[in-house]
Amino acid sequence: MSTITRSDIADAIYAEIGLSRKDSNDILDMVINEIIRELGSGNDVKLSSFGTFALHDKTARIGRNPKTGVVADIAPRRVISFKASQSLRSRINTPLQD
């Protein structure tokens, strides 16, 4: 199992569409920046047949360092979760055809 990088995705766009590498990279950057912009504005992002990036606000709470047992305040924060769509989950769980 390996990891795919942003560069790998840009190269796939280049190979599939035939745009220049720079244009392929620019398109990928625009898509990622738009997702970030919408999440930064407080909006969830749903990509059909892929999944949903959702924001959740977590309240402040008291935590404990598991190693030392020292009590610590955990500040309120906003977190992002990703939930894969049913069609993505189905494709992931389908055996690969050789």
Count the alpha carbons within 13 Å of 36 in the hemisphere toward its beta carbon.
6
Q: Do residues 14 and 47 touch, judged by C-beta distance below 8 A?
A: no
- Interhelix angle 6-17/21-40, nearest 10 degrees: 130
Q: Which domain holds residue 10?
A: 1-42
Can you give the pLDDT of all 98 residues of the chain as single tens digits?
A: 789 999 999 999 999 998 899 999 999 999 999 999 999 999 999 999 999 999 999 999 999 999 999 999 999 999 999 999 999 999 999 876 65
Question: Would 28 be classed as within a structural domain?
Answer: yes
Question: Would 96 be classed as within a structural domain?
Answer: no
- pLDDT at residue number 90: 93
Q: Do residues 62 and 75 touch, judged by C-beta distance below 8 A?
A: no
Question: Would 36 be classed as within a structural domain?
Answer: yes
Helix/strand/coil for 92: helix
Question: Would 93 be classed as within a structural domain?
Answer: no
- pLDDT at residue number 95: 77
Question: Would 61 be classed as within a structural domain?
Answer: no
H/E segment holding residue 1: none
Question: Would 26 be classed as within a structural domain?
Answer: yes
Question: Would 84 be classed as within a structural domain?
Answer: no
Question: How many domains does the chain fold into?
Answer: 1
- pLDDT at residue number 56: 95
Helices (H) and strands (E) in the chain — how many of each? 3, 5
Question: Would 72 be classed as within a structural domain?
Answer: no
Beta bridge partners of 63: 72
